[in-house]
Amino acid sequence: MPTSDRPSKFNPALLVVDMQEDFCPPNGSLAVGNGRDVIPVINTLLANPAFTTRIATKDWHPSTHISFASNHPAPNNVPFTSYTTITNPHNPSETYKTRLWPDHCVQGTKGAELVPELDQSLIDEIVEKGTDDRVEMYSCFHDPFEHPRVSDSGLVERLQKKDVTHVYVVGLAMDYCVKYSAIDAKKAGFEVYVVEEGTKAVDPSAWEEVRKELEGYGIVMVGTGGGEMGW
């Protein structure tokens, strides 16, 4: 957004998604290529006084999580390749198909820790998501079921309480948790930006398709240069 178009009310939040060891090389079980490269960009954003609140999210799964290939019987339990169908435990008519992953971000493990290079002293709140083993929850706001919802972090309400107007999203991964968190933030009524240099995709070849999908929701991909951030 050009600075000249800045609305009178501008209370931007920075949302740092899943900057955890398991999503980063060299040892992450679900490492996103070049995932560590975004850390300096994120630290620079964290230090920017324009943000009124700074949230970090953690994928925070029990070892029994439904997205782990290891929790499914062969032959349909190949990480990255196999899918499973998840049924709303409260409503059998609501289902969705979702990809299976290697075990990752298991609560309390080394892989679930935020990367130590991240300047955590600047973070106001940490949100744990994916804690209900019955549902996949890429979004840091809530799971994809609606009738009824199964898991909700309450973050929309906390951002609203802080009078946040704009949400800038960075972190991992662009094609999963960043994407779904950005979409849910937009659906909740915030103006949403994904900062290009602050995110990487699990599948880099999906980048343009995801960008178009985000733009279809009215989410804007911005670079950190050229005044695009709105300050």
Catalytic annotation present for 177: yes
Interface with ligand VGL, residue 177, by CB under 6 A: yes
Choose from Zn ion, ligand VGL, none: what does 103 bind? Cβ within 5-8 Å by kind.
Answer: none
Site string for ligand VGL, 92-131 (x = CB under 6 A): ---------x------------------------------
How many whole angstroms separate alpha carbon 225 and alpha carbon 47?
16
Q: Is 200 a catalytic residue?
A: no
Phi, psi at residue 160, to the nearest 5°?
Answer: -60, -40
What stretch of H or E contains 40?
Answer: helix 39-46
| Residue 103 and residue 70 in contact, taking contact as beta carbons nearer than 8 Å | yes
According to the binding rule CB under 6 A, does residue 143 interact with ligand VGL?
A: no
Smallest distance, ligand VGL to C-beta of residue 26, A = 18
Q: Among Zn ion, ligand VGL, none, what does residue 68 contact (CB within 5–8 Å per kind)?
A: none
Residue (of 178, 219, 157) closest to 19 by Cα position? 178
Q: Which one among 159, 173, 201, 229 touches ligand VGL, defined by CB under 6 A?
A: 173
**Beta carbon of residue 152, minimum distance to Zn ion (angstroms, whole number):** 17
Burial of residue 146 (CB within 10 Å: 0-12, 13-18, 19+) is exposed
Beta carbon nearer to Zn ion, 7 or 25: 25
Q: Which of 133, 69, 140, 124 has its CA nearest to residue 101? A: 69
CA gap 123, 55 in Å, rounded: 6
| Strand segments (E) across 29-82 | 53-59
**Segment 186 to 225, residues that bind ligand VGL, using CB under 6 A:** none
Q: Rule CB under 5 A: is residue 59 a binding residue for Zn ion?
A: yes
Catalytic residue flag (residue 152): no
Q: What counts of helices (H) and strands (E) characterise the chain?
A: 4, 8
Question: Which residue is catalytic, options 177, 179, 184, 200?
Answer: 177
Active site residues: 18, 129, 177
| Residues in contact with ligand VGL by the rule CB under 6 A | 18, 23, 30, 59, 67, 101, 138, 172-173, 176-177
| Residues in contact with Zn ion by the rule CB under 5 A | 59, 130
